[in-house]
Structure 1
């Protein structure tokens, strides 16, 4: 068994996946669009948008799609457990670009170099580096 998140966007899934690729998290390994495989498109505005994507990188696996009825992201966060402080800072800065830092990356009382942010797509990330 493995737990993997599924991110729902309204129309920005492809842009978000490109952003996560540019941040160095991994890459899209599967991408199907609304209208592919002769599957009827219920909402014409969704034609060509991402119906299903698989995103993978070292230690990373999640899925994503565009849905006309997607709700804003809330109540869940990706946590990246890291071992290199400079890589943690670099990734944190990349993910935070255009987003909002909610806990600045810093040493915490429990001994981790930790920070939390919401990226420009509304996805929450926590980076936790045990140094």
Structure 2
């Protein structure tokens, strides 16, 4: 058994996954689009948008899609367990661009370097560096 997260966007899935690729998290390794190659089309505004995508990178695996009836993201976060403080700071700053930092990166009472943010697409991220 393996648990993976599935992110639902309304119409910005491709932009979000491109952003995560730019941040160095990985890349889309599979993609199906609404209304293309026999995939269903719920309505014309969804044509060409992402029906299902797999996103992978070193230690990263999640899925995502556009859904015009998607609920806003809340109550869940991706947590990245990091082992390089400089990379943690770099990635935190990249993910925070045009987003909102809710816990600035700092050494926490448990001894780890930790921060939390919501990115520009509404996805919550927690970065925890134990070094």
- Secondary structure, counterpart of 2:37 in structure 1: helix
Kindly state the Cα deviation for residue 113 of structure 1 after the two structures are TM-superposed: 0.1
Kindly state the Cα deviation for residue 19 of structure 1 after the two structures are TM-superposed: 0.1
Kindly state the Cα deviation for residue 50 of structure 1 after the two structures are TM-superposed: 0.3
Kindly state the Cα deviation for residue 42 of structure 1 after the two structures are TM-superposed: 1.8
List 4+ stretches of structure 1 deviating above 6 A: none
Structure 2 equivalent of residue 13 of structure 1: 13
How far, CA to CA, are the matches of 2:114 and 2:30 in structure 1? Answer: 31
Structure 1 equivalent of residue 51 of structure 2: 51
Kindly state the Cα deviation for residue 43 of structure 1 after the two structures are TM-superposed: 1.1
Structure 2 equivalent of residue 25 of structure 1: 25
Q: Aligned-residue CA RMSD in angstroms?
A: 0.6
**Is the contact between residue 32 and residue 39 of structure 2 (CA under 8 Å) also seen in structure 1?**
no
Task: Compute the TM-score of the two structures, normalised by the length of structure 2.
Answer: 0.98
Structure 2 gaps of 5+ residues are: none
Task: Compute the TM-score of the two structures, normalised by the length of structure 1.
Answer: 0.98
> How many residues of Structure 1 are paired with residues of Structure 2 in the alignment?
131
